Every structure is written in structure tokens, then in C-alpha cells.
């Protein structure tokens, strides 16, 4: 049976508003699902909004290697993985027909360049409408905001969705720095928002859509996506 194929799309935005500080994608939200997928035999294509080497949120890569999550240490010692990260494919060059799933890691950068990116919005909606799986974690669900189904309905409308919560954003002291509050935007589009306790693991799956709240939830999102992919394979085999 053919391998499942997943596109992982990272933010290319590296500036935290007007603060002068750097941001980007969150390492653990990339690397933990990367190995959940890879260790299951999933074929991964690593993409970003602009392509090339995307910026990483410095806070997600502690100088002290011992403080880095195990998956981050493994990724940075994996030449194939590092090469993929240094040479990501621009999202505009991805075609939905080539993938069974799309996964959007977070990092505050997502809040700037994902909501209005037409290529990303189209990729999300087309993969879903052809029967594929959609996953996102933390600020990654910002990449779901612009997606519309073929009848014009917002992708998140009436759907069980989770993301970094407004409460977490306030506790992280980023309200007023980020261009909007993600939970508020998702609710405004009609999502059935399912938030958990601040900074605790929380992921939710509804059919072929899996979303999670924060870095600690990335593993749960990846496993939920795998379950959905396995279910699709089983259906195809019957």
C-alpha cells in the first residue's frame, strides 16, 4: 500500500510586530510531529509560506541543549531533516493532489503571514475536500482562517477547533503585539472552539480535522492525524 503523504507548512514571518524581537515557527511543534509521521513511514514534504530557510522562534530553541525537547535534538542531528528545513518548498508550489494531509505547526509568526495567504488557504480546503486530513497546532490554526470550502463557507465554521487561547496569549503578554487574538477570530468565523486549561496538553479531533492548543499538544495532534490517515487507508482497502 502506498505511503501516506503529508505537507508540513511553516511560517516565513520572523518579526514580532513592532517589538524589535524575533519570532518564527516553533521548533517542537515541527519536530515532534515530524517523527510521529516519519517513524510511521509517512512521506513528508516540508514547506513554508515563502520557501527557503524559514525563521525559528528563538524561544523554542534554548541555548542549553539539555533543555531542548528530545525531538528537537534528534531533528538537529538528522542531516536529511535539517536539509529539508534549510530548503523548504514555497507553499504556492504545492498541489493538493500530491498529499493526503496538511499540518500547520505554530509559532507567533503564523499570525502575520498565514491568515491571508491564498495558496495556503487553497491547499487546506482542497486537501480536505478531496478527502484528506487537516491538522494544526497552537498558532498554526491561523492558517485555517482564510480557507473556504468550494461553496464559500469558512473552513472552520461549525467545526470543532482548538488553538492557542486568548487567555494563553494574555498570559504570554503578547496581546496587543499580535495582530489579533486567534481564538476570537476562530469563534467569529463560527468555529466550535474547544479550549483547555492554559499551557496544558489539549488536542481535539473531529473526523479528518485535528487541532491542538500549544507546544505540549503537538504530539497529540500528530497522533490524531495518523489515526485519521490510517482510517482512510482502511476505508480504501475495504
Residue 92, number of CB atoms within 10 A of its CB: 15
Residue 152 CB contacts under 8 Å (≥ 6 apart), including other chains:
none
The pLDDT of residue 1 is above 70: no
C-alpha cell at 66: 539539555
Residue 120: pLDDT over 90: yes
Which residues, in sequence order, are CB contacts of 109 under 8 Å at separation 6+? 11, 12, 13, 14, 23, 24, 25, 55, 57, 139
Residue 180 exposure: Cα atoms within 13 Å on the Cβ side: 18
- DSSP character for 60? G
pTM comes to 0.97
For residue range 12-45, list pLDDT tens digits in order: 999 999 999 999 999 999 999 999 999 999 999 9
Contacts of 80-86 with C-beta under 8 Å, sequence gap 24+, read 81/31, 81/34, 84/44, 84/46, 85/30, 85/46, 85/53, 85/54, 86/52, 86/53
pLDDT digits (tens, 9 = 90+) for 129-183: 999 999 999 999 999 999 999 999 999 999 999 999 999 999 999 999 999 999 9
Amino acid at each position: 500500500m502506498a505511503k501516506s503523504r503529508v505537507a508540513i507548512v511553516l511560517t516565513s514571518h520572523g518579526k514580532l510586530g513592532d517589538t524589535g524581537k524575533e519570532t518564527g515557527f516553533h521548533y517542537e511543534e515541527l519536530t515532534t510531529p515530524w517523527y510521529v509521521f516519519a517513524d510511521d513511514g509517512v512521506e513528508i514534504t516540508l514547506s513554508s509560506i515563502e520557501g527557503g530557510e524559514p525563521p525559528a522562534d528563538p524561544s523554542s530553541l534554548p541555548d542549553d541543549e539539555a533543555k531542548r525537547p528530545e525531538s528537537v535534538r534528534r531533528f538537529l542531528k538528522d542531516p536529511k531533516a535539517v536539509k529539508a528545513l534549510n530548503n523548504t518548498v514555497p507553499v504556492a508550489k504545492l498541489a493538493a493532489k500530491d498529499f493526503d494531509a496538511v499540518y500547520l505547526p505554530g509559532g507567533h509568526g503564523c499570525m502575520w503571514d498565514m491568515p491571508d495567504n491564498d495558496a495556503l488557504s487553497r491547499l487546506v480546503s482542497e486537501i480536505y475536500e478531496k478527502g484528506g486530513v487537516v491538522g494544526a497546532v497552537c498558532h498554526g490554526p491561523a492558517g485555517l482562517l482564510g480557507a473556504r470550502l468550494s461553496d464559500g463557507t469558512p473552513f472552520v465554521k461549525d467545526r470543532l477547533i482548538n488553538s492557542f487561547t486568548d487567555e494563553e496569549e494574555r498570559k504570554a503578554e503578547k496581546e496587543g503585539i499580535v495582530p489579533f487574538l486567534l481564538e476570537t477570530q476562530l469563534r467569529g468565523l463560527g468555529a466550535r472552539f474547544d479550549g483547555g486549561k492554559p499551557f496544558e496538553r489539549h488536542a481535539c479531533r473531529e473526523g479528518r480535522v485535528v487541532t491542538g492548543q500549544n507546544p505540549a499538544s503537538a504530539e497529540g495532534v500528530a497522533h490524531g492525524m495518523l489515526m485519521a490517515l490510517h482510517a482512510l487507508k482502511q476505508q480504501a482497502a475495504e
